[in-house]
Amino acid sequence: MMMRKTCTALLLAAVLPAAHAAFPDHPITLIVPFPAGGPTDIVGRVAAAKAGEILGQQIVVENRTGASGTIGMVATARAKPDGYTVGLATVSTHGTAPHLFPNLAYDPVKDFTPISNLVTSPNILSVNPKFPAQTLADFVAHVRANPNKDGYANAGAGGVNDLGMIWFLQIIGGKMNSISYRGSAPALTDTVGGVVPVIFDNFPSSLPYLKSKHLHALAITGTERNPRLPDVPTFAEQGYKDYDVTAWYGVVGPAGMPADVRDKLAQAFAQAVRDPATAAKMEETGAFPLGNTPAEFAEQIRSERDRWKTVIDRAQIKLQ
């Protein structure tokens, strides 16, 4: 009896690691929960190309968009936890939306295997160049004097760009209409086109329009100015010291992934974003490469979820 048990254990030990040691033996899918041309897509494609090279298998990006990124994350949570389907979580899908979508089909902590948080990015408040206010001080005065007159474009109701703006409006005692899109790319198109005059967006997607002067920046989040646009002042230096909103993009799998598969993916993605050429591409977009460990990312998801709960509760934010 003892002998048979030992034999079975030995057999399993011989077979199981061998099965995972082959990982990955076919292409991996990375679900990007926002549309092409947005920051999640930009970061996802750059990281996937390099991580795929490191793993010796292609990582195919699949855009599954809608509901502030939560549709793609439901698909990620429900995938087979074998490492061949992972998703790119963001502060919206795992930090803000879970507190505001009462029927959300996942728990941001319990239903995922954190792999590696790839990149962080500031957020930026910009206006169409024809908007009457072209500085933050004028913007605040204009909004206070004209409640509910103007709209602000954002990448999804209940996502970080919507909530970040709602929070700022609470601070200044102003009211604007939230105009939500499936992601940054369509929100930017309408702001540049003059359909909506204001946008609060993750920095990488806004940067090209700011450089080409199709948009004019009023303030950027974070403690320091961004080297890509050093003329744009921070919110903090313009008097809003407690106001900070950071975006991030990290790879997660469904709950229950084997640890060796998770670690192999984590190492590949971390190595990818730290690779000098890939890191330079990320930095060109104004984002900051990170590439942390599964344990570090797990802790970050928990603290981001709790941080946004505090912001939402304190400001009594509810979706309209």
Do 80 and 142 touch, CB atoms closer than 8 A?
no
Q: 97-126: which residues touch ligand GLU (CB under 6 A)?
A: none
* Contact window for ligand GLU (CB under 6 A) among 53-61, 87-95, 131-139, 301-309: 87-95
Dihedral angle at the C-alpha atoms of 51, 55, 60, 64, nearest 10 degrees?
A: -70
Query: DSSP of 141-168, one letter per residue?
Result: HHHHHSTTTSEEEESSTTSHHHHHHHHH
What x/- string results for residues 180 through 219 when contact with ligand GLU is judged by CB under 6 A?
---xxx----------------x-----------------
State the Cα–Cα distance between residues 239 and 249, nearest whole angstrom: 28
User: Whose Cβ is closer to ligand GLU: residue 155's or residue 207's?
Assistant: 155
Q: 21-50: which residues touch ligand GLU (CB under 6 A)?
A: 34-35, 38-41
State the Cα–Cα distance between residues 152 and 166, nearest whole angstrom: 10
| Closest CB 154 distance from ligand GLU, rounded Å | 8
Q: Which residues of 32-53 are buried (b: 16+ CB within 10 A; e: fewer)?
A: bbbbebbbbbbbbbbbbebbbb
Q: 157-176: which residues touch ligand GLU (CB under 6 A)?
A: 159-161
Binding residue (CB under 6 A) for ligand GLU from 85, 90, 180, 246: 90
**Should residue 155 be labelled a site residue for ligand GLU when binding is judged by CB under 6 A?**
yes
**Should residue 285 be labelled a site residue for ligand GLU when binding is judged by CB under 6 A?**
no
**Number of helices followed by number of strands (H, E) in the chain:** 12, 11
Tokens of 22: 């082959």
Residue of closest CB approach to ligand GLU: 38
**Should residue 300 be labelled a site residue for ligand GLU when binding is judged by CB under 6 A?**
no
* Chain positions contacting ligand GLU, by CB under 6 A: 34-35, 38-41, 69, 90-92, 155, 159-161, 183-185, 202, 247
